[in-house]
Structure 1
Amino acid sequence: MALFKNIIGLIFLLLMQVSCSSDDNATPSLSAPLALNPSDITQNSFVANWAGVKDAQSYVLDVSSDIDFTSFVEGYQALSVNGIYTVVDNLSPSTSYYYRVRAVNGTAESSNSMVISLTTEIPDGSVLKELTQDFFIGTIVQSNRMTGMHHEVINREFSSITAEYEMKMNIMYPSEGVYDWTASDAIVNYAVENKLNIHGHALVWHNATPNWVENFSGTDAEFETMLEEYVKTVVTRYKGKITSWDVVNEAFNDGSGTYRNSVFYQRMGASFISKCFQWAREADPDVLLFYNDYNMCSDQTKRDAVFSMVDDLISNSVAIDGVGYQMHIAYNWPAKKDIQDATQDILDRNLKVHYAELDIRANPNNDQSTLTDARSLELKTKYKEIAELYTALPTVNKYALTIWGLKDNESWLLDFHGHIDWPLLYNNNFEEKDAYYGVLEGLVK
């Protein structure tokens, strides 16, 4: 029995020695840290956080301004940190940053944590147009809404304007042979005086056709001559002042993608589109020419028809520079991927993208009597999403992001849908809403 105990004891001592030797010399296997969301984000700094790792003696932090970590913020490449957080400072405001962390024990180092992203705060007093250096940020105007607070907000925040309805055929050409430039001249002169870009909207639209055109008594050939004269007259009048035009607006039916049975289609067939584009180009070789339509992110059949038409224009060397998507959407629709997919159709043709007529319904189901805090934040999220999507486009494909109105009680949506809504960036008192800050945040690259 004594011999047995001695043998067991000897084995135990040997095992202890092996164990101790192993503990002294083995390199520990370290798990990647769990990177946590940053805290205390300011214009110039943030606190990077992560969960501790068993056996870690320290940590290594990388901070970059690109998600692939091809370059590093000065002082933050493999920065050694004794702890589970550190302040990252000397940063630029309104800038996206990314960080990752690794655990260290002696010469052992774990793999990288997941990458955490953040954007430093926007400086106090920032305005929309300061964050849109490679495209225009726009709003709409009426000739009697260009003074007072309208004037102040337009010139503080925006770099481009569009006439809401006063540069359409029924306003500018109310009777045969007689043009009325009163409102359109006022709007264009206002833009010139205030150094604002102006987008022309719209030369041809079935819903803004004067009665005399709808009931045109001449032949089809005379109708075409009349339309050519109108397009060239308008574009020539504002040559060098208006930088872009929606040449044709909403020429296709929803769902079927067939051509609308407008008077223009009845008299000239589908060729009225290509001819209007050609006449506009002849009148102003430098102006940007757009086709504009709605439901383009949700109606695949309609979108296919539109781009079939666009492809025909391109293949026949008819000038078209871009496509406008009327972004009359809702806080919960359409999905981000649908917007991206629809936008890709424009990018694939190397045309300019105009997110036109952007307003976002906060009350599409008429189930809200007031704009609740929760719905206001949902609206902010959607506005931020749209601004982020547009900002991320290649610079060569950007033209403008145009908000369709300033304050909620002036939105066309109220009359169109017949109930209360809060679809714009400002409340009835011209005070910025959460939606405004959503756009502001979304414009940050």
Structure 2
Amino acid sequence: MKMGKICNWIFYVIVCFITLSLTSCASDDNGNDASGVLAPVAQEATDISLTSFKANWDNVFRASEYVLDVSTTNDFSSFVDGFNNLSINQLSQSVTGLMSNTTYYYRVRAVVSGVISGNSNIVSAETNTEFPDDITLKSATENNFFVGVAVSEARTNISSYDEIYMREFSSITAENDMKMASIFTGIDNTGAIIYDWSKVDALVDYAETNNLNVHGHTLIWHRSLPQALENFSGTDQEFEDLIEQYITDVLTRYQGKINSWDVVNEAIDDDPNVQWRDTVFLQRMGEDYVEKCFAFARAADPDIKLFYNDYNMTFDATKRGKVLDLVDQLLLENIIDGVGYQMHIDYNFPSTQQIQDATDELVAKDVLIHFAELDVKVNAANDLTELTEERAMAQSQRVKEVVEIFNAIPQSKKYAITVWGLKDDDTWLIPENNGRPEWPLLFDDSFDKKSSYQGFLEGL
């Protein structure tokens, strides 16, 4: 009898040992923690898009929640913002705000009675490389704001340009064809202005035929000065009268056809101690010449949207302050409707926060906002002889950030984002002007979409 009890006790010890051993092995195999909580099994990602995917995993019995990590590295040495120890009470989670054409990794843990399991298996998910073909810049911004492109009359007659203009954009701006020197060709013997309307007429007809908005650029700019005005020998009042006549003639001719104009372009000096750029308009018309030009335009067409346009607004707070003071004055007289912030920027400058802060200052004004002349330089340091994938992705991210900032503006204040050219070899930043090669636009030399095009869509 005593021997039987001893045998039973030995059998009980052996069973306990085997049970503990099996439990320990199960824990090792399935990622359980020391408390024996079973780890989830992560499943393949679904709903994969350009900038998101859905992470999925199996249920763990009695789990009250799950903890998700997402990383761009399989060792989880860093985490996607917002997806580190993210608590979730369901069996899937949409992971959003991602970069296209990028591999991500995720893992998940279960929480049972306050105890957290070990990590699940690791699953990878690669975001798509491009949007579906039926999504375009135009369709993605429809009824939200105009997406524009700088054009020339000559290029609208080239089928490869025309195809993309029609497919991708809802607004056009003449890069040069509507500037004063292109229209104002001389003064006749009676003192009347001689005009060449041919290119503007053709662009307006093109826009009307294809249901495109037209943003006029620009009525007054010191770098597009007709020779007849540069050498004008009449009085200052006669000079001013010619300017008034020019503005009046342009706006009345295209009334109802061109919906907005940059009335004056780049009038503020870059010197922080000087208000006005020293131009012939300042010399002949006085320090209130900008105000006069806006008044001439308002009188010629009370319904058109009138803009002031300038550069370096995103990072030069002193210059921006001078522009916004001018805007305040013009608002008091009800002769301005909008402001163009030229977006000639670099892939790494100015900072996103600087662009956001500058935009916030403009949002505080009662004006329409135009992110004008968007291009993103990638070779300011002249360290590239060709566009690398790394730099192209950085450019794409910068375009995305700019579009995100604009898209967050109150709807009533959005006017347009205008890209300053269609493809890289069309840019004004050609080596002859810039001293180095550049690739600043959304399409490459062969009319193919770049990563920056995808970045624009991602920003929406």
Aligned with residue 54 of structure 2, among 37, 42, 47: 47
Q: 1:168 aligns with which of 164, 179, 182?
A: 179
Counterpart residue type for residue 265 of structure 1:
L
Do residues 291 (structure 1) and 308 (structure 2) align? yes
Q: Which residue of 1 aligns with 2:170?
A: 159
Q: Classify 1:338/1:255 alpha carbon distance in 2 versus 1 (closer, same or farther; 3 Å).
A: farther
1:300 aligns with 2:311: no
Residue number in structure 1 paired with 2:448:
431
Query: Match for 2:137 among 124, 128, 133?
Result: 128
Tell me the secondary structure at the aligned position of residue 443 of structure 2.
Answer: coil
| 1:59 aligned residue (55, 65, 72) | 65
TM-score scaled to structure 1, two decimals? 0.77
Summarize deviations over 1:158-217 as a string: whole Å, max 9, x none.
Answer: 000000001011110010220000111111111111110000000000000111112221
Deviations 1:296-332 (A, max 9, x none): 11212111111111111122x2311111011111111
TM-score, normalising length: structure 2: 0.74
Q: Distance in 2 between matches of 1:267 and 1:124?
A: 53
Matched, 1:139 2:149: yes
Q: 1:204 to 1:50 in 2, by over 3 A?
A: farther
> Contact 2:56–2:93 at 8 Å: present in 1 too?
no
Q: Rate the CA distance shift 1:88–1:312 in 2: closer, same or farther, 3 A.
A: closer
The yes-or-no answer on 1:391 pairing with 2:407 is yes
Verify the 8 A CA contact 2:185 2:195 in the aligned structure 1: yes
Q: Give the partner amino acid of 1:47.
A: K
Moved more, 249-258 or 291-300: 249-258
Matched residue count: 371
Q: Does 1:262 align with 2:279?
A: yes
- Give the conservation status (yes or no) of the 8 Å contact 1:244–1:287: yes
Residues 57 and 103, structure 1, Cα contact 8 Å, conserved in 2: yes
Cα shift readout 1:116-174 (whole Å, capped 9, x = no counterpart) = xxx99844431001111210000011111012110000000000000000101111001
C-alpha distance in 1, partners of 2:347/2:406?
17
Q: What are the equivalent positions in structure 2 for 1:80-159 lying under 5 Å apart?
A: 81=90, 85-86=91-92, 105=112, 122-133=131-142, 134-146=144-156, 147-159=158-170
Q: Percent identity?
A: 47
List gaps (5 residues or longer) in structure 1.
1-32, 63-77, 95-100, 111-118
Gaps of 5+ in 2: 1-38, 69-86, 101-107, 117-126, 188-192
Alignment match, 1:197? 213
RMSD, aligned CA: 3.2
Q: Taking structure 1 as reference, are residues 47 and 294 closer, same or farther at Cα in structure 2, changes over 3 Å only? A: same
Secondary structure at 1:412 match in 2: coil
The residue matched to 2:354 in structure 1 has which SS? Answer: helix
Residue in 2 aligned with 1:221? 237
Divergent runs of 4+, >3 A: 38-41, 43-46, 48-53, 78-81, 101-106, 119-124
**Residue 246 of structure 1: aligned partner:** 262
Is the 1:214–1:263 contact (alpha carbons within 8 Å) kept by the matching residues of 2? yes
Deviation of 1:254 after TM superposition, in Å, equals: 1.1
